[in-house]
Amino acid sequence: MNDSALHVAVVGSGPAGFYAAAALLGSDLDIEVDLIERLPTPWGLVRLGVAPDHPNIKAVSRAFEKTAANPGFRFFGNVEVGRDVTHEELSRLYDAVLYSVGAQTDRALGIPGEELPGSWAATEFVAWYNGHPDFQHLAFDLSGERAVVIGNGNVALDVARMLALTPAELAVTDTTDAAIEAIAGAGIREILVVGRRGPVQAAWTPVEVGELGELEGADVVVDPADLELGAASEAELAAAPPTVRRNIEHLRDYAAWKPAGKPRTIRLLFLSSPVAILGDERVEGVELVRNELVDGRAVATDERQTVDAGIVFRSVGYRGVALTGLPFDERAGTIPNTGGRVEPGLYCAGWIKRGPSGVIGTNKKDATETVQLLLDDARAGLLRPRSGDSLEELLADRGVDAVLYVGWEAIDASERAAGEPHGRPRVKLATWEELLAAARATSKAK
Ligand code: FAD
Ligand code: NAP
């Protein structure tokens, strides 16, 4: 490490963390960045959120690899802030600390039956099929004929699409083998995606809506009556961005299609909210109420229906969690900040800064804005100079076995090598033991 450089700790190695590191290392100040990550693997939701059948999107990691190659960059994986090192310690060891820890849990619906076995947060399912090591013990019973997905965002569409992929479509992805087997063997015939508002108000985007029509193994069904929008939604559509109009064009196509008799069906249901998840021992159905739109809001009517369901995925948004020693806005699930500055020396970026919305690229602008403020503070002499030992010394004293970038490269190489003969981008190591063993194997060899 260069003693005269400014030392910045970035916590969380998802897109926001990597974009922040890139902006810091690309600035005209002399800066070194330590990127601290609780998992042995970097990239956050790019590895563990983005759907495995979207390899081109996951390829954004190549830009992150370029950042990691900068001589001023170091990666400390398997180090959790709050468990292995405290915020107070980091603020002593570094000139500035920037949190980019994302949104680690889900928003609740707050309805009866939400906790029944068989009622899952989409966050759990997504983490499981993507090989997140904290979620591999979960057992999703996909034997029922209907899965219900609550929510009209892109994550809901990811979940619906993953449930509908054929074994051949899954075989070329880096979905975990356990998930491929479970989805291939599922008894699911219908995936019902339930939106509380109408098609114009849905949060999904056209590429994702369009993909539903290209699935080998699933028909997509939309009731033409749901596309009789009513005056208010027609007016909203006329003023909406082109993406919303393209969504509606896709839906109009689907409404006109005759099902081709594919093994599974994705059915889109609008203006409906779950009021209870039903079942004695486990999920057996969902009670839905029909909504009407009042000033753009979903307002319940008296009309109710019950649908049978073997499993429910609640996909109504992610949620940030508080870190000990840091301020936290409970309602928003974010660290309170202005443009990413919490106070001079303490910053945040990404989902923990602005809440759980926006695509990967959104975090670039967001992280750059934060870094600009950090640089302003550095230039104005507002950062309290670091004191004390280094992070390595502190971790060594505590017996924390950090996975350095070379350890991640070993994991990466081992996964890619396992995928190559099968035409898969990688076969993920998905348990802590496997990941740490692969990281250690090469660290020792070097
Ligand atoms: P994250 O990516 O969540 O990264 C946070 C990191 O912080 C994680 O690695 C986490 O392990 C680490 N961390 C958390 N707590 C600690 C701690 N205490 N100590 C150390 N490390 C910690 N966008 C697209 O453009 N295209 C897509 O196809 C797409 N698909 C998506 C699919 C899903 C299921 C989801 C949820 C999002 C998707 N997005 C997609 C959005 C995109 O993934 C997010 O915008 C982006 O990942 C947010 O970046 P982040 O860095 O704030 O958080
Ligand atoms: P989101 O886009 O915010 O969507 C959440 C959905 O849940 C909305 O339809 C919302 O409806 C609904 N909802 C919220 N509370 C509800 C309730 N109590 N009852 C019923 N429905 C409720 O969140 P997300 O799907 O988790 O996605 C997060 C971000 O990641 C988004 O920006 C998304 O675009 C991005 N992402 C992108 C991709 C991609 O580019 N392929 C893939 C996945 C995720 P209301 O609108 O009525 O509130």
How far apart, in Å, do the first and last CA atoms of the chain sit? 20
Which ligand has the shortest distance to the CA of 350?
A: 1
- 379 occurs within a structural domain: yes
Task: Tell me the average pLDDT across 141-146.
Answer: 98
Given a cut of 60, is residue 157 above it in pLDDT?
A: yes
Pick the last residue of a domain from 317, 334, 363.
317
pLDDT for the residue 446? 39
CATH number reported for the structural domain that contains residue 275 in this entry: 3.50.50.60
pLDDT for the residue 403? 98
Are 189 and 313 in the same domain?
Answer: yes
Residue 392 C-alpha from the chain's centroid? 29
Are 11 and 141 in the same domain?
Answer: no
CA of 83 to the centre of ligand 2 (A): 30
Cα dihedral 433/434/436/439 (nearest 10):
170
Query: 10 Å Cβ neighbour count for 116?
Result: 17
Block residue for tokens 């990811």: 158
Block residue for tokens 């479970």: 182
CA of 44 to the centre of ligand 1 (A): 5
Pick the last residue of a domain from 263, 293, 317.
317
Given a cut of 80, is residue 36 above it in pLDDT?
A: yes
Q: Residues enclosing ligand 2, CB less than 6 A?
A: 109, 150-156, 158, 195-197, 201, 203, 205, 208, 273, 315-318, 356-359
- 415 occurs within a structural domain: no
C-beta separation of 307 from 148 below 8 A = yes
Q: Whose CA is closest to atom 3 on ligand 2?
A: 317
- 421 occurs within a structural domain: no
Query: 10 Å Cβ neighbour count for 19?
Result: 28
Are 262 and 139 in the same domain?
Answer: yes
Q: Residues enclosing ligand 1, CB less than 6 A?
A: 11-17, 36-39, 44-45, 49-50, 54, 57, 80-82, 100-102, 104, 126, 155, 158, 318, 323, 350-351, 358-360, 362-363
Structural domain span for residue 90:
6-104+320-402
C-beta separation of 123 from 316 below 8 A = no
User: Given pLDDT bands bounded at 50, 70 and 90, which one contains residue 2?
Assistant: confident
Which ligand has the shortest distance to the CA of 51?
A: 1
CA of 367 to the centre of ligand 2 (A): 22
Task: Tell me the average pLDDT across 102-124.
Answer: 97
Residue 177 C-alpha from the chain's centroid? 20
pTM: 0.97
pLDDT for the residue 372? 98
Are 94 and 116 in the same domain?
Answer: no
pLDDT for the residue 388? 82
Q: In what order do the strands lie in the sheet with 96-99?
A: 73-76, 31-36, 6-11, 96-99, 346-348, 341-343
CA distance 43 to 161: 23
Which ligand has the shortest distance to the CA of 54?
A: 1
Domain total in the chain: 2
Are 19 and 168 in the same domain?
Answer: no
Residue 155 C-alpha from the chain's centroid? 8
Which ligand has the shortest distance to the CA of 154?
A: 2
Q: Whose CA is closest to atom 35 on ligand 1?
A: 49
330 to 86, 121, 171, 294, 443: CA distances (angstroms): 21, 19, 41, 28, 41
pLDDT for the residue 445? 41
Atom of ligand 2 nearest to the CA of 122: 26
Task: Tell me the average pLDDT across 315-341.
Answer: 97
CA of 215 to the centre of ligand 1 (A): 26
- 137 occurs within a structural domain: yes
CA of 351 to the centre of ligand 1 (A): 7
pLDDT above 90 as % of the chain: 97
pLDDT for the residue 183? 98
List the one residue out of 289, 351, 280, 283 whose CA is nearest residue 105. 351
Task: Tell me the average pLDDT across 228-236.
Answer: 94
Are 87 and 123 in the same domain?
Answer: no
- 425 occurs within a structural domain: no
Q: Whose CA is closest to atom 30 on ligand 1?
A: 50
- 376 occurs within a structural domain: yes
CA distance 183 to 275: 28
264 forms bridges with which residues in the sheet? 218
Atom of ligand 1 nearest to the CA of 39: 11
Which ligand has the shortest distance to the CA of 128?
A: 1
Q: Whose CA is closest to atom 1 on ligand 2?
A: 153
Are 249 and 146 in the same domain?
Answer: yes
Task: Tell me the average pLDDT across 109-134.
Answer: 98
CA of 356 to the centre of ligand 2 (A): 9
65 to 60, 134, 231, 365: CA distances (angstroms): 9, 24, 50, 19
CA distance 153 to 126: 14
Are 336 and 382 in the same domain?
Answer: yes
List the one residue out of 383, 346, 149, 160 whose CA is nearest residue 266. 160
Given a cut of 50, is residue 159 above it in pLDDT?
A: yes
List the one residue out of 197, 191, 109, 118 whose CA is nearest residue 153. 197
- 409 occurs within a structural domain: no
User: Given pLDDT bands bounded at 50, 70 and 90, which one contains residue 3?
Assistant: confident
Task: Tell me the average pLDDT across 230-241.
Answer: 94
Pocket test for ligand 1, best of 100, 125, 360, 364 (most atoms within 8 A of CB): 360
Atom of ligand 2 nearest to the CA of 107: 15
24 to 27, 44, 369: CA distances (angstroms): 5, 19, 11
Are 281 and 364 in the same domain?
Answer: no
In the chain, how long is the greatest CA-to-CA distance?
69
Are 72 and 150 in the same domain?
Answer: no
Given a cut of 80, is residue 444 above it in pLDDT?
A: no
Which ligand has the shortest distance to the CA of 360?
A: 1
Higher pLDDT, 1 or 107: 107
Residue 258 C-alpha from the chain's centroid? 34
CATH number reported for the structural domain that contains residue 70 in this entry: 3.40.50.720
Mean pLDDT for the chain? 97
| Eight-class DSSP state of 13 | -
Q: 375-408, pLDDT tens digit by residue?
A: 999 999 999 999 988 999 999 999 999 999 999 9
Are 98 and 140 in the same domain?
Answer: no
Pick the last residue of a domain from 296, 317, 338.
317
Q: Whose CA is closest to atom 16 on ligand 2?
A: 316
Task: Tell me the average pLDDT across 82-94.
Answer: 97
- 59 occurs within a structural domain: yes
Task: Tell me the average pLDDT across 314-337.
Answer: 97
Query: 10 Å Cβ neighbour count for 237?
Result: 17
Using DSSP's 3-state secondary structure scheme, residue 161 falls into helix
Are 71 and 201 in the same domain?
Answer: no
Given a cut of 60, is residue 443 above it in pLDDT?
A: no
Atom of ligand 2 nearest to the CA of 156: 25
Task: Tell me the average pLDDT across 231-251.
Answer: 96
Given a cut of 90, is residue 442 above it in pLDDT?
A: no
